[in-house]
């Protein structure tokens, strides 16, 4: 554990730049705004920031559609601003991890402009083109993740191009070695500029074989990632995290195993997807099932115990707010936000805080489709209401699981637009910013920020928190989550109540401990033994003494 990489001791923080802090009043967050808030992150004890895309982009998908990988979108700033962000963050001990979106580009990228000119353009093969099916129409029935066919017809050259997301996000053709070389060169260009690593967007899709209908986990995925590693990451002390919705525990080891030579870790989504409806996916809310959630979390903790490394997260820019999904965003908002933090950060892995989670920001309740901005939500609204879903039902689903929940502006203070902008924000500020905001939480020594700061400090200080093994208890209990971490003689026992009721339970042998509460959301508990009464959303982590 002495030689463990730095990112195993780090707490990460995700910034969605569009919604973080606007320095110039245009209603859109920007890089100078981020720089002005670096002290907030340093105070939280953040080790690295995952910065969602800031590259040049027509913003069809808020930057996940890149038109120039070596430039910054004007609404976010300039390359000089980016260099300043990297330097100012570094001065505070914080690394900046860029979002690498290379499964697809924007259709406004120079490569695609060239590619669609003619079938023999040198860039044609940077993208995936196919003839129409023999009887006409799309080459096959692959569907886009944003709804509708994954193929769009391009008049000028009479072929279809593949887009697994919006039609403005054409898939890059990883089978082309020149394209791969161009991406590796670009990655090195950013690494040489001082970025601390990459978060790799939908990286599990790059090895696809669309003719065989294979999209995720294609045959060339791991060979490509090893090649990328050799060409870019090797020998550099950086952190990489691949977004992999398809990852199983076995698959995760292929990416992050010590012999794999690919990535530091992946974002796995099994714990998220277990909460989705089998048939209708995320658009149909399903009652919260703690036993199911624990089963998945435990499976991942156990599978990556000896090798590989977990990422730990409740939320990101594509997901609902943690406290609304897994806690209580009303009466027990503050205690339940702390409970979720303790339970997640005490597990083995690198924890990611999504902006606003550190103050317990909640989902927003929109009443009309016109309030939504997200391309995925708007596309599915069109498709599902045309297929007979009532507007009311769709709204309920979007309010529960839609991506805009995570994208309402960061709530800095109680002023008009929450201190996010002096102008008109690109998406509405949650009206609850009058009470839920950074200034108010900071003013409370017992606030949620203080709780997260403490967890980040414990992670740096305690080897058992970083490297201890994980043993679950009370696995079938529908209201409580319990586990112990052990390393040599050290032990941490964690017990948490996921309900707003008082729950009493007999502490199982093994979990029982007395010592010191190192992370807790109620005072006065420094032992777990016999029968305990857990208060609403109570969580405690006790370090054995
Ligand atoms: O998301 C991957 C992805 O598959 C999403 O469509 C996801 O399934 C959905 O939003 C879950 O609710 C990544 C980025 O994180 C997302 O913001 C981008 O829109 C997408 O890739 C395309 O780049």
Per-residue pLDDT of the chain (545 residues; tens, 9 = 90+): 568 999 999 999 999 999 999 999 999 999 999 999 999 999 999 999 999 999 999 999 999 999 999 999 999 999 999 999 999 999 999 999 999 999 999 999 999 999 999 999 999 999 999 999 999 999 999 999 999 999 999 999 999 999 999 999 999 999 999 999 999 999 999 999 999 999 999 999 999 999 999 999 999 999 999 999 999 999 999 999 999 999 999 999 999 999 998 999 999 999 999 999 988 889 988 899 999 999 999 999 999 999 999 999 999 999 999 999 999 999 999 999 999 999 999 999 999 999 999 999 999 999 999 999 999 999 999 999 999 999 999 999 999 999 999 999 999 999 999 999 999 999 999 999 999 999 999 999 999 999 999 999 999 999 999 999 999 999 999 999 999 999 999 999 999 999 999 999 999 999 999 999 999 999 999 999 999 999 999 999 999 99
202 lines ligand 1 (CB under 6 A): yes
In degrees rounded to 5, what are phi and psi of residue 241?
A: -140, 120
DSSP 94: -
CB of residue 166 inside a 6 A radius of ligand 1? no
Residue identifier of the C-alpha nearest atom 9 of ligand 1:
318
On the CB side of 326, CA atoms within 13 Å amount to 29
From atom 22 of ligand 1, which residue's Cα is the shortest distance away? 64
**In a 3-state reduction of DSSP, which class is residue 243?**
strand
Q: Smallest Cα–Cα separation from 536: which of 333, 315, 322? A: 333
Q: Which domains does the chain have, with CATH numbers?
A: 6-104+177-364+431-448 (3.20.20.80), 110-162 (3.90.400.10), 468-544 (2.60.40.1180)
Is residue 201 among the annotated active site residues?
A: yes
Q: Ligand 1: which residue has its CA nearest to atom 1?
A: 202
475 an active-site residue? Answer: no
Ligand 1 centroid to Cα of residue 199, in Å, is 13
Do the Cβ atoms of 438 and 449 come closer than 8 Å? Answer: yes
- Alpha-carbon distance of 345 to 476, in angstroms, equals 22
Rg of the chain on CA atoms, in Å: 23
Measured in Å, residue 319 CA sits from the centre of ligand 1 at 9
| CA dist 482 → 368, 439, 473, 508, 523 (Å) | 41, 33, 5, 9, 19
Catalytic residue among 65, 204, 243, 358: 243
Contact status, residue 426 vs residue 29, Cβ threshold 8 Å: no
Tokens of 544: 């054995």
pLDDT at 279: 84
């Amino acid at each position: 554990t002495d030689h463990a990489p730095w990112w195993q001791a780090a707490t990460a923080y995700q910034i969605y730049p569009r919604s973080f802090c606007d320095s110039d009043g245009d209603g859109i967050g920007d890089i100078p705004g981020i720089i002005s808030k670096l002290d907030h992150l340093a105070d939280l004890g953040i080790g690295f920031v995952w910065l969602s895309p800031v590259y040049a982009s027509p913003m069809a998908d808020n930057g996940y559609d890149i038109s120039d990988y070596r430039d910054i979108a004007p609404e976010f700033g300039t390359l000089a601003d980016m260099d300043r962000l990297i330097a100012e963050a570094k001065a505070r001990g914080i690394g900046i991890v860029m979002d690498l979106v290379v499964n697809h580009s924007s259709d406004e990228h120079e490569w695609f402009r060239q590619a669609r000119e003619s079938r023999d353009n040198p860039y044609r093969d940077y993208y995936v083109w196919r003839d129409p099916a023999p009887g006409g129409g799309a080459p096959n029935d692959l569907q886009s993740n944003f709804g509708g066919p994954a193929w769009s017809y391009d008049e000028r050259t009479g072929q279809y191009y593949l887009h697994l997301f919006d039609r403005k996000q054409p898939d890059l053709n990883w089978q082309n070695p020149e394209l791969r070389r161009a991406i590796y060169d670009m990655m090195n260009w950013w690494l040489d500029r001082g970025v601390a690593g990459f978060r790799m967007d939908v990286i599990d899709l790059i090895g696809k074989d669309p003719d065989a209908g294979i999209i995720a986990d294609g045959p060339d995925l791991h060979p490509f990632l090893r090649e990328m590693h050799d060409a870019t990451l090797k020998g550099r002390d950086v952190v990489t995290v691949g977004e992999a919705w398809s990852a199983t525990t076995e698959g995760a080891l292929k990416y992050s195993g010590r012999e794999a030579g690919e990535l530091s870790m992946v974002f796995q989504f099994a714990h998220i997807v277990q909460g989705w409806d089998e048939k209708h996916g995320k658009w149909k809310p399903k009652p919260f099932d703690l036993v199911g959630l624990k089963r998945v979390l435990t499976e991942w903790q156990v599978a990556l115990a000896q090798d590989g490394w977990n990422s730990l997260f409740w939320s990101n820019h594509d997901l609902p707010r943690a406290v609304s999904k897994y806690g209580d965003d009303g009466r027990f908002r503050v205690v339940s936000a702390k409970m979720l933090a303790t339970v997640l950060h005490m597990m083995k892995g690198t924890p990611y805080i999504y902006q606003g989670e550190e103050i317990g920001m909640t989902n927003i309740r929109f009443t009309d489709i016109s309030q939504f901005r997200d391309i995925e939500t708007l596309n599915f609204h069109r498709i599902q209401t045309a297929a007979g879903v009532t507007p009311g039902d769709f709204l309920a689903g979007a309010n529960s699981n839609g991506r805009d929940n995570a994208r309402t502006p960061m709530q800095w203070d109680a002023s008009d637009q929450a201190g996010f902008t002096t102008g008109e924000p690109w998406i509405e500020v949650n009206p609850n910013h009058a009470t839920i905001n950074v200034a108010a939480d900071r003013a409370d020594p017992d606030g949620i920020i203080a709780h997260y700061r403490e967890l980040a400090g414990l992670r740096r200080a305690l080897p058992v928190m970083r490297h201890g093994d994980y043993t679950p208890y009370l696995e079938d209990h529908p209201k409580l989550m319990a586990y112990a971490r052990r390393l040599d003689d050290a032990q941490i026992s964690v017990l948490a109540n996921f309900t707003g009721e008082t729950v009493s339970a007999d502490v199982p042998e093994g979990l029982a401990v007395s010592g010191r509460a190192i992370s807790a959301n109620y005072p006065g508990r420094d032992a777990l033994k016999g029968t305990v009464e857990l208060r609403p959303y109570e969580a405690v982590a006790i370090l054995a003494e």
